[in-house]
Structure 1
């Protein structure tokens, strides 16, 4: 098991669920509601698992990849992205399911999430694969799987300040 593969698997599931919403008839509001509720919870559990398990490890092991100068830059950007995704997800619940406004809000959430996944896949995950041992990647995968499995019904969504988050992690030895 490898945490970077688990992240990729989760990203694929997120893409699949957004795709399902695009294919459900807008008058089938019970199905749209069920799939959206599942996706909204999944997005938050995934983000929280990254914040608790992946990004602290990246801050300790990473050296930077892609256009980022280092793991602090990668992590700050990811936390900012998570906040934007949380806000976009929350905005969907402000609209009646199946309406044009609801679909536009879902599209905004999809765009924020897609942008984040692309950056994470080419930066943070690449950095981690290049600098973390296979054993560390396995150990974190076990923790990540355990975290997500224990929270299938969701977690409390709360935005984080990227700088405060990094400061709280950097001084620790937790990975």
Structure 2
């Protein structure tokens, strides 16, 4: 169990679920709801697990990758992205499932999440792979998987101040 692989697998699953929803435009709201609920939980729990486990370790070991000057810069940007994703989730949830407004909000969520994943894969995950031992990656991978399993029913999500987060973990 490697935290980098666990995160990449989650990213794949997120992309798969957005693709599934793309194929469900003609479905009833009652069919869309469970798929949306699972995606929402996956996105929220994944972000929280990264904030609890991955980013503190990245800030301790990382030096910057993908054009970022430091692990702190990578992390600050990622926390900002998580807030955008949380806000987009709230926007989707504010509209009747399956309405045009819901689909429009879903497209914005998909874009925000896709941009974040691509950036994280170029920056934070690359930086971590280059500096973390396999033992640490394994230990954090187990912890990440346990965290996600423990919160499979969902969590209460809230925005985090990126500057305060980085300052707390420096």
Query: TM tier, shorter chain?
Result: over 0.9
The aligned residue for residue 162 of structure 1 is: 162
Structure 2 alignment gaps of length 5 or more: none
Q: Deviations over 1:18-59 (max 9, x none)?
A: 111111143421111110111011100000000000000000
Q: Shift of the alpha carbon at 1:108? A: 0.4
The aligned residue for residue 125 of structure 2 is: 125
Matches within 5 A, 1:55-134: 55-134=55-134
Q: Shift of the alpha carbon at 1:67? A: 1.0
Q: Shift of the alpha carbon at 1:141? A: 0.4
TM-score w.r.t. length of structure 1: 0.95
Structure 1 alignment gaps of length 5 or more: 171-175
The aligned residue for residue 8 of structure 2 is: 8
Q: Give distance in 2, aligned partners of 1:36 and 1:152.
A: 14
Q: Shift of the alpha carbon at 1:96? A: 1.1
Alpha-carbon RMSD: 0.8
Answer yes or no: is the 8 Å Cα contact 1:26–1:32 preserved in 2.
no
Q: Give distance in 2, aligned partners of 1:161 and 1:105.
A: 23
